[in-house]
């Protein structure tokens, strides 16, 4: 069980064991709570920074569990200010969870001691379990207009017309590369195809292996993390759904991922992948990259702030679009999940009205603009994002959304096939080799069998979209609204 420490007017961050070591961000966020234009909070909730005269009665204390590590320092300051200034006698305590968040959340609901607010890592699963309170009664027409249609998408933050979260920032995915190692290896530009990726990784390893430098790395310790930040965006920019679901046929077909998985296996076989990658997590990978030991990897738009505050980079680095399979771009990289959800209210909370007031503050222009200007993410709500300055952080320019970033429809959610999941199977192949064709056939059979069961039970209603266009997937979403 968690034990909480309360201090009047102060946000306490409690780290839950097992402890995940986090080098605290050293950014100074005082002042980030106001946009450069001098605006105060506007939008959902009108909160005056002058309202420091809170009531004298007992405070309503809210528990907030967050999975966010890269933004913990900023959110701590945001909550500290809210605790000092909100006129509703509300005090929020934030707990940054370790990697066992889902298990901890299950235990908290089973014991009826759930947090009041939390960041939903698997919203589909959490709604099925009844953990999340719908927000529909709080969402006014003004709020809908402010966020726009693309903030409310079935399968991401909306399920059966019930809204369970609102967006903050949408992560973009890029190839991150060591500019200095590229120059030493005679590589003049980031790779645009898988063949170029494998070649570049080999050339960097050839010139740097004696110094412990390798061309490529991924955090294979957690297969979903490794492939979610690499194989998925490569597939999507190639016009292929990143998780194997084919929207045009309404079925699973993992064969499109074979060239990508094959390339990752080739870099493992030829020795250009950082040794020990099978047990590598993302933070140790970042630490190695910051020291100049890795030529390339793929990851999210949180990296610039990490290399400024958490692991100050000792090298010059850049970010580019991920390579596609053949060097041509046939799709957009999906920002969907991150672009549509951030915070949710617990269905068990005894203080839902107060929790909504806190969410209203967190979703205010003041907080969201400060979030982007601090370099913690690229806001996914255009009406708010255009009010914020670009953060003054090296490397952020390469992550600004462009023509090849967008939102795909949600693939079927909340079910698992019998046996190992696709990420686990593919990482096992990358590490050890085997028969990739047979592996794909097995994945297709198991995933489609599970999908057929879900359709028969009425839990999945998605059908084929023959006209689906991976370059403009949001057009189909808006047309069906």
Overall average pLDDT of the 410-416 stretch? 83
pLDDT, tens digit, 9 for 90 and up, residues 336-365: 666 788 999 999 999 999 999 999 999 999
Overall average pLDDT of the 304-319 stretch? 92
pLDDT, tens digit, 9 for 90 and up, residues 191-219: 999 999 999 999 999 999 999 999 999 99
pLDDT, tens digit, 9 for 90 and up, residues 274-298: 999 999 999 999 999 999 999 999 9
Check residue 98 and give its pLDDT. Answer: 66
- Of 298, 380, 305, the C-alpha closest to 342 is 380
Which residues are paired to 132 by β-bridges?
346
pLDDT higher than 70, residue 9: no
pLDDT higher than 60, residue 33: no
Given a contact cutoff of 8 angstroms between Cβ atoms, the answer to whether 150 and 474 are in contact is yes
Overall average pLDDT of the 17-43 stretch? 35
Which residues are paired to 61 by β-bridges?
91
Calculate the average pLDDT of the chain. Answer: 86
Given a contact cutoff of 8 angstroms between Cβ atoms, the answer to whether 260 and 249 are in contact is no
Confidence of residue 335 (pLDDT cuts 50, 70, 90): confident
CA–CA gap between residue 84 and residue 252 (Å, rounded):
51
Check residue 199 and give its pLDDT. Answer: 98
Taken in order of first residue, the domains within the chain and their CATH numbers are: 13-151+158-168+340-396 (3.40.190.10), 173-334+401-481 (3.40.190.10)
Residues with Cβ < 8 Å from 409, sequence gap 6 or more? 153, 155, 247, 465, 473, 476, 477
pTM of full prediction above 0.85:
no
pLDDT higher than 50, residue 262: yes
């Amino acid at each position: 069980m968690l034990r909480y420490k309360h201090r009047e007017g102060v946000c306490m961050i409690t780290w839950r064991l097992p402890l995940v070591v986090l080098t605290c961000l050293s950014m100074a966020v005082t002042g980030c709570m106001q946009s450069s234009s001098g605006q105060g909070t506007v939008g959902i909730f009108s909160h005056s920074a002058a309202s420091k005269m809170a009531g004298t009665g007992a405070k309503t204390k809210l528990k907030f569990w967050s999975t966010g590590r890269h933004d913990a320092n900023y959110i701590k300051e945001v909550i500290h200010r809210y605790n000092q200034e909100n006129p509703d006698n509300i005090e929020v305590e934030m707990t940054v969870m370790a990697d066992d968040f889902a298990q901890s959340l299950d235990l908290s609901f089973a014991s009826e001691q759930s947090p009041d607010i939390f960041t939903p890592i698997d919203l589909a699963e959490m709604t099925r379990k009844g953990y999340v309170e719908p927000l529909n009664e709080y969402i006014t027409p003004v709020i809908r207009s402010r966020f726009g249609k693309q903030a409310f998408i079935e399968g991401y933050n909306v399920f059966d017309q019930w809204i369970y979260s609102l967006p903050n920032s949408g992560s973009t995915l890029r190839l991150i590369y060591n500019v200095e190692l590229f120059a030493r290896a005679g590589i003049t530009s980031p790779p645009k195809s898988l063949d170029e990726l494998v070649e570049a990784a080999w050339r960097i390893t050839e010139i740097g292996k004696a110094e412990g430098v390798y061309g490529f790395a991924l955090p294979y310790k957690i297969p979903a993390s490794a492939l979610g930040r690499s194989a998925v965006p490569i597939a999507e920019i190639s016009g292929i759904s990143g998780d194997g679901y084919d929207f045009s046929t309404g079925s699973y077909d993992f064969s499109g991922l074979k060239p990508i998985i094959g390339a990752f296996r080739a870099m493992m076989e030829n020795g250009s992948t950082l040794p020990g990658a099978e047990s590598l997590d993302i933070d140790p990978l970042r630490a190695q990259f910051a020291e100049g030991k890795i030529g390339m990897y793929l990851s999210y738009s949180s990296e610039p702030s990490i290399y400024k505050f958490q692991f100050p980079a000792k090298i010059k680095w850049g970010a580019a679009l991920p390579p596609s399979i053949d060097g041509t771009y046939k799709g957009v990289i999906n920002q969907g999940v991150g672009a549509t959800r951030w915070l949710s209210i617990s269905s068990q909370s005894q203080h839902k009205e107060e929790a909504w007031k806190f969410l209203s503050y967190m979703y205010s222009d003041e907080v969201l603009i400060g979030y982007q200007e601090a370099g913690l993410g690229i806001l996914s709500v255009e009406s708010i994002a255009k009010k914020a300055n670009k953060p003054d952080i090296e490397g952020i320019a390469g992550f600004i959304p462009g023509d090849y970033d967008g939102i795909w429809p949600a693939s079927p959610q909340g079910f698992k096939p019998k046996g190992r999941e696709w990420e686990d199977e593919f990482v096992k192949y990358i590490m050890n080799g085997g028969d990739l064709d047979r592996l794909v056939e097995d994945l297709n059979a198991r995933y489609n069998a599970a999908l057929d069961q879900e359709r028969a039970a009425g839990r999945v209603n998605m059908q084929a979209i023959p006209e689906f266009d991976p370059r403009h997937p949001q057009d189909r979403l808006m047309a069906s609204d």
